[in-house]
Structure 1
Amino acid sequence: MRALDAIALTLLIVGGLNWLLVGLLDFDLVATLFGGQDAILSRIVYVLVGLSALYCLKFYGLLGTDRDRRTI
């Protein structure tokens, strides 16, 4: 499960950085790398980022649990 969590987090970071670039510079990195917004590879990346966001909703359930508390 840790591997899936790491993949989902990585995809969310990619998506967040892409949106940062779109917002600040009007530059879509995913579209540039994979052949435009309508290219199948770009659409796959967009879908994977969205699915990762849905998957990461589970992390809200972990907030405030003993698992988050660190002992020094």
Structure 2
Amino acid sequence: MKSIDVIAAILLVIGGLNWALVGLFQFDLVAAIFGGVDTFLARLVYIVVGAAAVWQIAQFKAIQIRWSQTSMN
């Protein structure tokens, strides 16, 4: 399960950086890469990043326990 946590964290960083670009420069990198905010691929990226956020929320306590056990070894 740890690998899915890392993938979710990476996706959240990508989403966070995209939102930073939107907030600072009104530039949506995902939309620019995939041809617009309404394209299938852009929407898929938004959905996957959102699913990663839901995963992190649902697994928050379990992730804390797993990571604290790993750091003790």
CA–CA distance in structure 1, aligned partners of residues 55 and 66 of structure 2:
21
Aligned residue for 2:12?
Answer: 12
Q: Where do residues 33-72 of structure 1 align in structure 2 (5 Å cutoff)?
A: 33-57=33-57, 58-59=59-60, 61-62=61-62, 63=64, 65=65, 67-68=67-68
Any stretches of 5+ residues in structure 2 without a counterpart? none
**TM-score (structure 1 length as normaliser):** 0.83
Q: Matched residues, percent identical?
A: 46
Which stretches of structure 1, 4 residues or more, deviate above 6 A after TM superposition? none
**RMSD value over aligned CA atoms?**
1.8
Count residues in correspondence. 69
The AA in structure 2 aligned to 1:15 is G
CA–CA distance in structure 2, aligned partners of residues 66 and 51 of structure 1:
21
* Cα distance, 1:2 vs structure 2: 1.5
Whichever structure has more helix as a proportion of its residues is 2
The AA in structure 2 aligned to 1:6 is V
Any stretches of 5+ residues in structure 1 without a counterpart? none
* Cα distance, 1:68 vs structure 2: 2.7
**TM-score (structure 2 length as normaliser):** 0.82
